[in-house]
Chains A and B, each alone.
Chain A
C-alpha cells in the first residue's frame, strides 16, 4: 500500500517530464539532459558576456594588494563618489597574484584595471618591451601640470622612472631605522645615541655576542643570510645599488663587493654579531620577543607590523637612525615600496588622475592612510600633519613618524629594471655562498671569491639584457 501512496503524487510530475522530453526531442534529438546542459552553458556564457568581470557599474577599477590600503581606499571611494560623482571599485588582489594577473591583463588586453598598485621589486618588469606597449601611462605631464613633481621625494620617483617617463607615483618613502630592545640595551649597557657609526655598532655587538662566548643565545642584529633584502639596505645606504639610472647592472662594482664582504663578516666567522631567524613569521616574532637579536632593520611599515605582531613588548622597543658608514654620513636607507599607476587602456585618465591625487597626493587622505598603515607618504605636505608628531606608546612614547620624516629626504634612490627581481634572487644566492665560504675558509681568498660571485652574477644579467631586443 505504501509504495502506491508514495507514487500517487509523483504521477502527474512524471507525466510532465515525459511530455517535456517528447517536446524537446522534436527539435533537439539528443535528449533532455544534454539540452539542459546546453541551455545552462548558453545562459552562463551570455551572462559572462553581458557582465564583464569586475567593472560592474563602477567608473574606475583599481587593484591593490595590501589589506590596509584596501580598507583606506574603500573609505576614500565613498568621499570620491560624493565629490566627483564617480564610483570607484577597489579590488584586493593577493600580493603574489597581482603582478601575474596584471601582466596577463596587459598581454591579452582583457580585464585591465584603470589603476593598479605594484610592489617595487616587480615594478621594473612592467617597464620592459616597446615603449608604446608599456601598460602604464607616463604621469610626468600630470605631475608637472599640477605642480606636484617637487612635492614628492625625488629619490622615490627613481624606481618608477624608465626611459625618461614616470610610470608610477610612489606611495611611500620607507626610510629605514634600527628597531632595538630598550630593556636589553640597558641590561647590556648600550646607549643607542652613541652608536652613530657602524664601527661603533659592531664594537658594541662584539662586546655582547663575543663576550658571551658566542653562545648563540644573543646577537646584535637580525640579518638575512640567504636573501637580499637586508643586504640591499646597506648597499643603498652607501650609495650603491643593483642598477644605475641607465638600467645597467652595477652589482659587481667595488662598492658592492666591499659591502658584501662587510655584510658576510657580520653573519659568519669569529666576530659574528648577526643571526638569521627570518624577517617575518614565527621565527622573527620569537627572535624579537625572546631577545635573540637586540636590533633589526625597521622601515616604517615594519614598525607597525612589530606593534601588531609582538604586542607583548609594548613600551620596551625603541627606534634609532641607522649608524653611518663614516662619521657624518647618511643615517638611513630604504626597504620596499609601492607605486600606483594609471593603465594605458583606462578610458577616463583625468578621472583616474583625480582619484590618484585624492588617495596619494591629498594631505587629508594621505593622513588617514598614514594612520591606518603607519607608513609615511612620499608626498611631503603630509609630513606636517599632526598625526606625524604623535607619540607612540609602543615605542616608549617616541614620535616615530616624525623621526622617519626627518630621515625621509635623505633616503637613497633605488633604480629598478625589468631584471630587478632576477638580480635580487641571485644576490640572495651570492650572500648564501659568501657566508658558506667565510665559515669554511675565513679571509683566505675571500675577496677573490666575492668578486667572482658578483662578476658571474652580473655577467649573466648582462647576457640576458644584451639578447633582449626590447
Chain B
C-alpha cells in the first residue's frame, strides 16, 4: 500500500541510496571534511579560518615544549586514573548491591542512582559550584570535619580543584556506569553460580571466578569508554571553575587547553595539532587496555 510498492523495481532499487544520502551528505560535510581539514590545519599557524602560515611540525614541537600542555596532560591523566580506580569499582559495587533480588525498593534505588545523569552536565556544574562556595554546604561540612577555611570557596584552593572535579564526576557517572554493569550481571548464567556453590566456592571466589569473567567484555567496554570520556573532559571544569582552568591551573585539561588555543587565542592550527595528539593518545591507551584485557586477541 505504500508508495514503494507501487513504484517500478528500478525505483525501489534506488530507494536505499536515497535514504542513505542525507546521512552521507551530513557525514561528508560535518564529519569527514572537518577531519581532513583539521589534519591540514595542524601544520599551519592560523588566525581564524582565513589567515594561515605553514609551519610544518612546528605546532607539535611548540606544544611539546609548552609547560601548560604538560600541566593539562598531567591533570587529565590524574582525572582519568581517578575515574578508573574510584568511579568504576564504585559503579560495580553499586551494581552488585542493586542486583540482589531480595533488595526492597530496587527499582527506585536504580532510578535514584542513575538520575544525576538525567539532569545534565550544566546543571550539575552550577549546583556543585554553589556547594563548594564559601559557606556553601560542602565548605561548611569540610570546615566542621577538617577545620578548612569556611569563608573561601573550596575551588579557590589549587589542591582541592582536582578532588572537586573527581567528586562531581562521581556523582554524575557512578550511577550511569552502574547501568552497564547491572545489565552485564543479569546476563551471567545463574547455573555457574549454582555449580560454584556446589563446589564449595565462597562469595569472594564466586565473584572472582564467575562474576568477573562473566562481565569482562562489558568491563572492558566501560573502561575504554571511561578513559576516552576522561580524556575529553571539558564541560565539567569549564562550568565548575568559572570558564577557566581554576586555581593553580589545577583544572586545566587537554581539551580546555585546546579550546583556549583555538577559540580564545584564535589559532585553529595549533588547536588541531592538540586535537590530533589527543586522538593518538586515546587510541594508544584504548589499544593497550584492549590488549591487556585480551579482547584484541579474541577479536582476532
Residue in chain A with minimal CB distance to B249: A429
CB-CB under 8 A for A29 and B133, given A103-B266, A106-B48? no
Out of B1, B53, B248, B263, name the residue touching A429 (CB < 8 Å): B248
A-B contact pairs, 24 of them (CB 8 A): A25-B4, A25-B7, A28-B3, A29-B3, A103-B48, A103-B266, A106-B48, A107-B49, A129-B47, A133-B51, A226-B157, A278-B152, A278-B153, A282-B135, A283-B136, A283-B152, A418-B266, A432-B158, A433-B158, A460-B68, A464-B265, A467-B45, A469-B45, A470-B51
Q: Give the interface segment out of A77-85, A250-258, A363-371, A420-428.
A: A420-428
Instruction: Report the 6 A-B pairs with minimum CB-CB distance, sorted nearest first.
Output: A25-B3, A283-B134, A29-B7, A226-B247, A129-B47, A107-B48
* Distance in angstroms between the alpha carbons of A250 and B255 in the assembled complex: 29
With an 8 A cutoff between CB atoms, is B116 at the interface? no
B55 to chain A, nearest CB (A): 8
Proximity bits, A441-470, B CB within 8 Å = 1, else 0: 000000000000000100010011001111
With an 8 A cutoff between CB atoms, is A24 at the interface? yes
Are B247 and A287 neighbours in the complex by a CB distance under 8 Å? no
Find chain A residues with CB under 8 A from B265 CB: 125, 418-419, 422, 464
B245 to chain A, nearest CB (A): 6
Find chain B residues with CB under 8 A from A130 CB: 47, 51
Find chain A residues with CB under 8 A from B264 CB: 125, 421-422
CB-CB under 8 A for A282 and B136, given A226-B156, A429-B247, A469-B53? yes
Find chain A residues with CB under 8 A from B156 CB: 225-227, 276, 278, 432
Are B47 and A30 neighbours in the complex by a CB distance under 8 Å? no
CB-CB under 8 A for A283 and B266, given A29-B12, A432-B158, A436-B158? no
Proximity bits, B240-271, A CB within 8 Å = 1, else 0: 00011101110000000000100111110000
Are B151 and A24 neighbours in the complex by a CB distance under 8 Å? no
A194 to chain B, nearest CB (A): 27
B205 to chain A, nearest CB (A): 49
Besides A21-B1, A278-B153, 20 more A-B contacts (Cβ < 8 Å) are A25-B6, A29-B7, A29-B11, A30-B18, A32-B2, A133-B51, A275-B152, A276-B152, A281-B130, A282-B130, A283-B135, A283-B152, A283-B153, A286-B134, A286-B135, A287-B134, A287-B151, A421-B264, A429-B248, A463-B62
Are B260 and A422 neighbours in the complex by a CB distance under 8 Å? yes
Find chain A residues with CB under 8 A from B266 CB: 103, 125, 128-129, 418
With an 8 A cutoff between CB atoms, is B50 at the interface? yes
Find chain A residues with CB under 8 A from B153 CB: 276, 278, 283
B278 to chain A, nearest CB (A): 20
Residue in chain A with minimal CB distance to B245: A425
Chain A interface (Cβ within 8 Å of chain B)?
A: 18, 21-22, 24-26, 28-32, 34-35, 96, 100, 103, 106-108, 125, 128-130, 133, 216, 225-227, 275-278, 281-284, 286-287, 292, 418-419, 421-422, 425-426, 428-429, 432-433, 436, 456, 460, 463-464, 467-470
Residue in chain A with minimal CB distance to B2: A31
Find chain A residues with CB under 8 A from B8 CB: 29
Residue in chain A with minimal CB distance to B8: A29
Find chain A residues with CB under 8 A from B50 CB: 107, 133
* Distance in angstroms between the alpha carbons of A429 and B136 in the assembled complex: 23
Q: Give the size category of B's interface with A.
A: 35 or more
Chain B interface (Cβ within 8 Å of chain A)?
A: 1-8, 11-12, 15, 18-19, 45, 47-51, 53, 58, 62, 66-68, 130, 133-136, 149, 151-153, 156-158, 243-245, 247-249, 260, 263-267
A130 to chain B, nearest CB (A): 6
Find chain A residues with CB under 8 A from B51 CB: 129-130, 133, 470
CB-CB under 8 A for A21 and B47, given A275-B152, A282-B133, A283-B151? no
Residue in chain B with minimal CB distance to A459: B67
B265 to chain A, nearest CB (A): 7
Are A29 and B6 neighbours in the complex by a CB distance under 8 Å? yes
B251 to chain A, nearest CB (A): 11
Are B48 and A18 neighbours in the complex by a CB distance under 8 Å? no
Find chain B residues with CB under 8 A from A31 CB: 2-4
Are A468 and B133 neighbours in the complex by a CB distance under 8 Å? no
Find chain B residues with CB under 8 A from A30 CB: 3-4, 15, 18-19
Are B3 and A21 neighbours in the complex by a CB distance under 8 Å? yes
* Distance in angstroms between the alpha carbons of A275 and B58 in the assembled complex: 44
Out of B1, B133, B263, name the residue touching A18 (CB < 8 Å): B1
Are A226 and B19 neighbours in the complex by a CB distance under 8 Å? no
Find chain A residues with CB under 8 A from B6 CB: 22, 25-26, 29
A247 to chain B, nearest CB (A): 14
CB-CB under 8 A for A292 and B151, given A18-B1, A29-B7? yes
A104 to chain B, nearest CB (A): 8
Residue in chain A with minimal CB distance to B15: A30
Find chain B residues with CB under 8 A from A281 CB: 130, 133
* Distance in angstroms between the alpha carbons of A421 and B266 in the assembled complex: 12
Find chain B residues with CB under 8 A from A421 CB: 264
B234 to chain A, nearest CB (A): 14
Find chain A residues with CB under 8 A from B136 CB: 282-283
A13 to chain B, nearest CB (A): 16
Are A432 and B248 neighbours in the complex by a CB distance under 8 Å? yes
* Distance in angstroms between the alpha carbons of A61 and B23 in the assembled complex: 36
* Distance in angstroms between the alpha carbons of A25 and B4 in the assembled complex: 7
Residue from A30, A106, A130 having most chain B Cβ neighbours under 10 A: A30
* Distance in angstroms between the alpha carbons of A227 and B18 in the assembled complex: 56
Find chain A residues with CB under 8 A from B58 CB: 467
A363 to chain B, nearest CB (A): 36
* Distance in angstroms between the alpha carbons of A282 and B137 in the assembled complex: 12
* Distance in angstroms between the alpha carbons of A216 and B134 in the assembled complex: 14
A209 to chain B, nearest CB (A): 13
Residue from A26, A96, A425 having most chain B Cβ neighbours under 10 A: A425
* Distance in angstroms between the alpha carbons of A289 and B268 in the assembled complex: 46
Residue in chain B with minimal CB distance to A276: B152
